[in-house]
Amino acid sequence: MLTATYHAVYDDAKEGDELTLLTAPLCSTAELQSLFEAGVIDIESALPAALHSLGATAVEIAGATKRRRLADQAGTDTKLLEAQSAAKIGDADVALKGAQTLKTAAETKVVEQQVGKTKAETKKLMHDASAPHATPGTAAAGGPSSSSSSKK
């Protein structure tokens, strides 16, 4: 019907031209994902619908579907690849947390050294403030050189 209407409207249409009606999916990608994960639809149905909702052309969708079919036939285990990727991410996360722990430990040592220095300075200041002390280089008051004695 669509092709016949096309030929009726356009006189210069070639005899072999045929029109195909393409429609948009009636669900969101989240709904599509839920249907696929629940096993309601298979990858052969989900992949074209998802790609179409993302704006892929018919040629791109056909190519992606073909690549997926070939990957399935070749025995490519996508679940294994996903698990390996997750493991790599987990290993990287563990390494990052380990490095952060070492950094925190080094920073803690620096803070502990600063605390020790502050305690020593405080102790010295408290000692100096508790009683007057002679400053080095000056004679103590009342010492032998401060009084002159005369003999009679």
Virtual torsion, Cα 146, 148, 149, 152, nearest 10 deg: -170
Virtual torsion, Cα 26, 30, 32, 36, nearest 10 deg: -170
CA distance linking residue 74 with residue 105, whole number of Å:
50
Sign of CA dihedral 122, 124, 125, 127: positive
Number of domains observed in the structure of the chain: 2
Tell whether 59 and 41 lie within a shared domain. yes
CA distance linking residue 77 with residue 71, whole number of Å:
8
Give the pLDDT score at 72.
Answer: 80
Residue 68 in any domain: the answer is yes
Residue 117 in any domain: the answer is yes
Give the pLDDT score at 19.
Answer: 73
Tell whether 92 and 106 lie within a shared domain. yes
Residue 143 in any domain: the answer is no
Angle in degrees, CA 29, 30, 33, rounded to 5: 85
Residue 48 in any domain: the answer is yes
Along the chain (152 residues), what's the average pLDDT of each consecutive run of 10 residues? Answer: 79 77 70 88 87 85 90 76 85 91 94 96 89 66 51 50
Asked if residues 52 and 25 have their Cβ atoms less than 8 Å apart, the reply is yes
Tell whether 16 and 41 lie within a shared domain. yes
Tell whether 14 and 65 lie within a shared domain. yes
Residue 56 in any domain: the answer is yes
Q: How many CA atoms lie within 13 A of 83 on its CB side?
A: 4
Give the pLDDT score at 106.
Answer: 94
Tell whether 59 and 46 lie within a shared domain. yes
From 76, 103, 135, the end of a domain falls on 76
Residue 39 belongs to domain spanning? 2-76
Residue 135 in any domain: the answer is no
Residue 113 in any domain: the answer is yes
Give the pLDDT score at 114.
Answer: 96
Angle between the N-to-C axes of helices 29-37 and 43-53, in degrees from 0 to 180, rounded to the nearest 10 = 170
Residue 49 in any domain: the answer is yes
The identity of residue 141, as a single letter, is A
Give the pLDDT score at 20.
Answer: 76
Tell whether 65 and 30 lie within a shared domain. yes
